[in-house]
Structure 1
Amino acid sequence: MFAAASLLACAAHAANPLFPKLFTADPAALVDNGTVYLYVGHDQASPADKDYVMKEWRMYSSCDMKNWTDRGSPIQPSAFKWAIGKVDAWAADVTKRDGKYYFYATVDHAKIPGRAIGVAVSDKPEGPFVDARGSALVTNDMTLEAPIAWDDIDPGVFIDDDGQAYLYWGNTVMKYAKLKPNMIEFDGPIHTVGMDRFTEAPYLHKHKGTYYLSYSRDFPEETAYYTGPSATGPWKFQGVIMSKNEKVKTIHQAIVEFNGKNYIFYHNAKLPGGGEYRRSVAVEEFSYNADGTIPFIKQTKEGPAANPSAACK
C-alpha cells in the first residue's frame, strides 16, 4: 500500500503524456492489489538518430491513475545472456501467476538471426527480473510465415479464467500458443491467425465474458480490434478504436480495468522534441458501449480523472 510519503515521490503529472522527463514507448500494464504497474521501453535516441536506442525498460506505479511513482528499471536486455543485449529493449508484456511476475520481452538473438522473445521472472512487480529459461522462448527460425527478421516481436500474455495461459505476438503475421503452467514453455504448437491488415502489437483482454483482441493495423498504425467467444476465437472484426499518430508511425496499446473503470495506454510523440524514435506514453479512460463494443477513443491532453483505489490509503 502507498503511504503519503510515497506519494510525495510521485511524478504528479496530471496530463498526457504521462512521463515528461523521459521518452517512453510500448506500454504494458498490470493491475495488482489496487495498483497499476506500467512497464515501458525507454527511448534514448538523440534527435539525429535514425533508429531506436532502447537500453532498458522502465516501470511506474499508480494507485489512482493520476500520480505515478518512478520505480526505475526492473530489467535490461543484458539480463538475457543469449541475446545481443545492448539497445534492443523493444515491446514487452507482464503478468502474475502463483505469486510470481513474468516479463515477456522482445530482444535480438545473438546466434539465431532475428528478433526473439525471452521470459524473465521476479518475486516482485518492480523486479529485479531474471531470465527464467536461459534461452529464448521464441526464435525467428521457429516461425517461417514472413520473410523478415522482426516478425517475432510484441508479446502479449493472457491468463484465462480457467488458468490456461496464452502468448500472442507477431509482425505482419499474428501468432499465438498456449503456455504451460510454469509460464516459460509452450504447451502445444504455434498457431497463426489471419487478421485485417495486421501489423503488430496483439493484445488480448476479457470483459464480461467477451474476448477482445486488439492490435496495430497498417503502417503508420491505428488501433483496431476483434471480439470472440474464447481466447482463440473465432474472431469478428469490430473496427478502429484509435487513430494514427501525427509524428510517429507506431502506437502500441494495452487495455486494463482498474478500480471499476477502463483504460487504454498507448504512445504518441507529443513531448517537446518527440519523434519517431522519441515517443511518449499516454492513457485514456473509456466506457464500453451498451452492446459491449469499444467506442472510438480520442487522444487527449487531460488524460483520465483521478480514480484512487484502497491502496492509496
Structure 2
Amino acid sequence: MLREGNPIIRHTFTADPTVLVHDGAAYLYTGHDEPPKGQEVYNMQRWLCFSSTDLLEWHEHPSPLQAKDFKWADGDAFASKVIEHNNRFYWFVSVSNGTGFGKAIGVAVADNPAGPFTDAIGAPLVTHAMLPKTENEKANLDPTVLVDDDGRAYLIWGNGQCYFAELRSDLLQLNGPVSTIDLPHFAEGAHIHKRGKYYYLAYGYGYPEKVAYAMSESIFGPWEWKGILNEIAGNCATNRPAILDFKGRSYFFYHNGALPNGGSHRRSVCIDFLHYEEDGTMRRVVMSTEGILPPVSSKT
C-alpha cells in the first residue's frame, strides 16, 4: 500500500504507534480501534504490524499479538512499546488485569520483528499492587522502555502519574521498587528515547492531549520540562508519540482522527519530520496532511 500523506494507514484504524528499525526496515506497531458501529467507546483487542523500507510504501503483516494471548488478562489492547534486545523482540503492553485490580503491564517475545509474539512470563510484569498507593485503576497504561548504552534497562509508564522502574537484564522482572517522575500535566502516553548525552521523555499533556517533553542528562533525572512538542491532533482527544531515527533523518509518529468516520475512538497513525536544535532541544513538530513526502496519486 502506498501512503498518500497523513494518515499513513488508511484502510483500517490504527493508534498508539511504536516503531523500531531492523535490517534496514522500519517496523510500525499500532493498536487497532474497533468500536461497535454508532458507539463512541474504546474497543481494542489486538495490535497490528506494518513494515517499510522508505516510510512511503507500507506492508501489513498478520496481527502478531492480541490481548487474549495473555491468558491472565481480561482483554483491552492499550498502548505498547516494542524493542529489539539481544537479537530478540520484546513487546511491552498494557492490558486489563483479569487476576487483579485495574490494568497491568505484560511482556511478549518473538524471534522475528513481525512475530508471532508469545507471553514471555505467563503473568503480569507490573500490577497495581506494585505501585505507590493509588486508586487509579488506569495507572498501568502505556509502557515505554529504554535499554541504555551500558545495558541497563528502564520502564516508564502511567496515567495521571508517571512511574519509573529499572528492569533486570532479562527484561522480564523489575529490578527494584517503582518510583515516580513529576511532570507538568502528565496524562499518559509516555515515550522515552536517548540521543547523544540527552534523555528525552515525551508524553500526553493535559486533556485533550498535546504532546510535551522533558530532558535530562541522566535517566534518573532531574527532568527539565521543555514545552510542547506537538499540538492537539485533529479530531482526537488523545495522542501518543513515537520517535524514530531512520536513514539519516528523525521522524515523529502520532495519531489523529482524520479518516472518514474517524475520531477519538477511531484513530489513525501519522508521521512528520522531527528536528533537533543545536542545544539538543526538539523543535515543535509541524503537523501536515502531506506528512514527510508530497502526496502520491497511485496505489498498490
Query: TM-score band, normalised by the shorter chain?
Result: over 0.9
Deviation for aligned residue 1:47:
4.5
2: CA distance, partners of 1:220 / 1:25: 16
Same amino acid, percent of matched pairs: 39
Deviation string 1:127-157 (CA, Å, 9 cap, x unpaired) is 1100000000111222144321001110001
Look up the match of 2:284: 296
Partner amino acid, structure 2, of 1:32 = H
Q: Aligned to 1:71, what secondary structure does the other structure show? A: strand
Preserved CA contact (<8 Å) 2:5 2:293:
no
Q: Do structure 1's residue 24 and structure 2's residue 38 form an aligned pair? A: no
Partner of 2:48: 58
Question: Could you tell me which residue of structure 1 aligns to residue 275 of structure 2?
Answer: 287
Aligned residue in 1 for 2:203: 215
Does residue 226 of structure 1 match 2:226? no
Question: Which of these residues, 67, 82, 86, is aligned with residue 94 of structure 1?
Answer: 82
Partner of 2:64: 74
From 112, 118, 130, the equivalent of 2:100 is 112
Q: After TM superposition, where is structure 1 displaced by more than 3 Å over at least 4 residues in a row?
A: none
Q: What amino acid is the match of 2:34?
A: Q
> Aligned partners of 2:171 and 2:127: how far apart in 1?
17
CA contact (8 A) 2:234 2:258 kept: no
* Root-mean-square deviation (Å): 1.2
Partner residue in 2 for 1:15: 5
Counterpart-to-counterpart distance in 1, 2:180 and 2:275: 30
| 1:1-313 alignment runs, 5 A limit | 11-85=1-75, 88-305=76-293
Question: Unaligned regions of 5+ residues in structure 2, if any?
Answer: 295-300
How many Å separate the matches in 1 of 2:231 and 2:34?
25
Instruction: Give the total of aligned pairs.
Output: 294
What is the CA-CA distance between 1:56 and the residue it aligns to?
A: 0.9
Q: TM-score, normalised by structure 1?
A: 0.91
Q: What's the secondary structure of 1:177's corresponding residue?
A: strand
| 8 A Cα contact 1:58 1:71, kept in partner | yes
**Structure 1 gaps, min length 5:** 1-10, 307-313
Deviations 1:97-144 (A, max 9, x none): 111100001100112020110000000000110000000011122214
- Normalising by structure 2, report the TM-score: 0.95
Measure, in 1, the Cα distance between the counterparts of 2:241 and 2:220. Answer: 20
